Amino acid sequence: MLANAFHRKLEDRKWHSMASLNCIRKSTKPWNGGRSMLDTIKKGHITGLTGVMEFREDSSNPYVQFEILGTTYSETFGKDMRKVSGPFVLPWQRSANTLKPMGAGISPYEELRSRRSECD
């Protein structure tokens, strides 16, 4: 999705280049191409795991939600993982007037937690 959008934007001669981006903190400035990039993604009719990407007016995809995981490390307790927010929701695809699940869904938090317990 991003590669497709970058390719389209680089073909557009009016687009602001990313050449001025720098990873050094002292000189880091916000990149002004984000809104234009999002508009390109919205217009792209890109098909992914959830079908053709659709967006609400607030730019969110109505069919996908993910868990956000956070990790911490301390010498006393080692590496720890916790769920920061949200449930993982199985993606749905619109088919005529009904919604049907696409693919398979797992909870990444539960999956990682079970793998961690196997290693302990």
* Token reading at 27: 């000189």
Cβ atoms of residues 46 and 52 within 8 Å = yes
Tens digit of pLDDT for each residue in 5-58? 777 777 776 665 555 555 565 665 666 777 777 787 777 777 766 667 777 777
Cβ atoms of residues 102 and 50 within 8 Å = yes
Comparing 43 with 65, the larger pLDDT belongs to: 43
Tens digit of pLDDT for each residue in 75-120? 665 566 555 555 544 445 555 555 544 444 445 555 556 655 555 5
* Res 39: pLDDT: 81
Give the integer Cα–Cα distance in Å for 43 and 59.
Answer: 12
pTM (predicted TM-score): 0.38
